[in-house]
Amino acid sequence: MTSNEPVLPAPSTQPAEPVRSPRRLLARRAAGEPVPAAVVGVTPPVHPAADLSLGPGNGRNYWWQQLGEPVRDRMIARVGPRVDWWAGRHPTDQQRPYAVVLGPRGLAMCTPTANDRGGRAQLLTVVPFVPSSLRHAVVVQKPSGWLPGRLRLPAAPTTAPAPPDLPLPVGLRDLLGNLPADAQARVQWPFVNGDVLTDSRHYYQGNGDELHVWAYLVGRRWVTFVSGRGSGRSVPAHRRSWQLICRQAEVAQG
């Protein structure tokens, strides 16, 4: 169940908290038990890679500072210590920030709005989690030794039905298309196996070679969240590498 907090006054710029990059996790507990590797059910779609525009602009740390300390503190108070997060320029009000915080107790989204007097404020929306339901899986893709001129045997024919299509925004679909198929499947799996997608958002920053990504999908029962780093954007696909963490939590009802 999603809840909306009363609007918060738009604060002035405050120094950001130090941000720690996610450590390389193995199959151990990290804000929850690992997501099982074996997944059954309907196979999610795998999207083709698309070009992602990377123009000049401020990164997530800048926009996190613009949000201000009172708003940041309120988000963390609602969902717990940051497991992951991002902040960016709001797409419809490009002078103002929005932010997303994933915590052990929920997912918090803060978006710019106006208060009753027309002043700037932030609307806090929280998707609470079932206690201890946050799980993770690590997806690592290393460069392969396959060369474009090397002969590959055709794949065995399959009679499996085509995967269902999800109503994803074009930008999110394009971002997912750049990720390894395993990461795409984990993020989308609940929503082709009975859950109804109700919200999604994504963010990325990088340069000609590296890409840092964040995205979430919210349904009536599940939340999925993917984040991590890819390198080798300027080389052929088989030479690229990815280190990603896919997380999933159950939405608290009532």
Q: What whole-number distance in Å separates Cα of residue 237 and Cα of residue 50?
A: 12
State pLDDT tens for residues 182-219.
Answer: 999 999 999 999 999 999 999 999 887 889 999 999 99
On average, the pLDDT of the chain sits at 82
Matching residue, tokens 């120094």: 15
For the question of whether the overall pTM of this predicted structure is more than 0.75, the answer is: yes
The predicted pLDDT at position 56 comes to 72
Provide the residue type at 200 as one letter.
S
Tokens of 172: 């999110």
pLDDT < 70 stretches in the chain:
1-40, 145-162, 233-238
Tell me the percentage of the chain whose pLDDT exceeds 70. Answer: 74
Closest CA to 201 of 130, 137, 107, 121: 107
Query: Is the dihedral angle over the CA atoms 77, 80, 86, 90 positive or is it negative?
Result: negative
